[in-house]
Amino acid sequence: MIQEIFHPILKDRLTLMRRKETPAKDFRQAVEEIATFMIYEVAKNFKLQEIEIETPITKCKAKILAEEFGIVPILRAGLGMVSGALKVLPNAAVGHIGLVRDETTHKPIEYYKKLPPNISSKKIIVVDPMLATGGSSSAALQMLKDAGAKDIVFVCIIAAPEGIKKISGDHPEIPIYTAAVDESLNENAYIVPGLGDAGDRIFDTL
């Protein structure tokens, strides 16, 4: 399932990210703000449980989140979305999956993995700004499944049709949330029109 999120503020920040003259500071801030907007949207489907609390006036029924959460960025660009996600889910555990794309084969190569404990009992939110070929994202999702994760959501800022097809084919049960579905990939497997290399622009390593 693919869900493109529409919100005027989100689209405004996305335009800021796309502009090539946007400095790293403003790019990072836009990534964080978009991540916050997107996690709020994803949270519409979170489960609630009813409890009894006491206000300064009286006892009453109230609702709290019924699940535990884990946020897992795909390194390194996914790190830019973590602080925004934690603004919505401050108690979430944070894991990390490190994958680098071979620039010749475009295949993902794992170099780091540290996942939240009790992963099978948590709703896992995987974050990565770009869903291009889908190779790295699909590999990360499979790593989480192999570790015991049963409830996974994938959140990206920009997605290419090729990446959506890859994830939907390999992991049809995992919903994909994105702020924009772009046209295609170019010959170098970059999203068009896209915004360039998100990791380089977040960390100012162009």
Which amino acids are annotated catalytic?
A: 101, 105, 197, 200
Give CA–CA dist 139/90, Å, rounded: 27
Neighbouring-strand partners of residue 62: 51
Give CA–CA dist 53/30, Å, rounded: 37
Task: Identify the H or E element spanning 86.
Answer: helix 79-88
Q: Are 178 and 3 in contact (CB under 8 A)?
A: yes
Task: Identify the H or E element spanning 177.
Answer: strand 176-178
Q: Pick from 186, 108, 77, 97: which is nearest to 146 by CA?
A: 97
Q: Pick from 155, 139, 148, 128: which is nearest to 74 by CA?
A: 128
Maximum pairwise Cα distance, the chain: 66
CA 50 to chain centroid: 28
Neighbouring-strand partners of residue 59: 54
The tokens 């944070």 sit on which residue? 94
